[in-house]
Structure 1
Amino acid sequence: MVETTDVIFAVDSIPAIFAITGDPFLVFTSNVFAILGLRSLYFALAGMVTQFRYLKAALALVLLVVGVKMLLAEALKLILGKHFNLYLLIAVLAILAVGVAGSLIADRRDLHRSGR
């Protein structure tokens, strides 16, 4: 299933990449790296979701932020200025950091409570 999703993603990305560049080498290599990277990232996230209890909620929130960004890109550009992508990247990283830190704090608190 993951491999099928990777191939669909790669085929879907080709027109978007051609909108940015006409260089076939860049199109090909970016799709190859996307397929390899997504597969590795999927298995890394699958392992991390079991280790960090709030990571699944953080990832869901990241997907929500990305979806809102896609729907309201022009409005966000007007509100946040030309560097709005940087602000959204910082927001995504902060969401992930809070999810991981919250999981670590909750695990430490549970370990401390059970140790008493």
Structure 2
Amino acid sequence: MSKEKYNELQQKQEKLQYELNQLTEQKRAEILRKAQAYDAIIHFLSEQGPAEMKAVHNISAEEIAGGLQANAKLWDLIKATEDAELISSCQPQGEWPQVRCSNSYLKIYAEEKYSDLMAEYNSH
């Protein structure tokens, strides 16, 4: 093989390796973005603390408004995952932004997805 042909092949190989590295980094960035969406749900639910049961007549207007705002925020976090299964199972119905999934289900689901994604991220 001539030196010119060898150099040409080596340049092509280097270009392909560079492109492969770029694709790998893009894939890792996408995995990390998805993992961060699930991590945001985990942190949000951790900050909320356990749900307290109260008699309806003991709930103030501020608590109702705060609960609705928290549910709207949680729904935004769920949508940010772009997880079709999670979105369809938790999608609010009716005029109130009440997420249909329990916090415990969401936390377990998000922790599992986060763990899986980070394992995939670390394997690349």
- Report the TM-score, using the length of structure 2 for normalisation: 0.28
Which structure carries more relative contact order (alpha carbon 8 Å, separation 6+)? Answer: 2
Larger Rg: 2
* Structure (1 or 2) with the greater helix fraction: 1
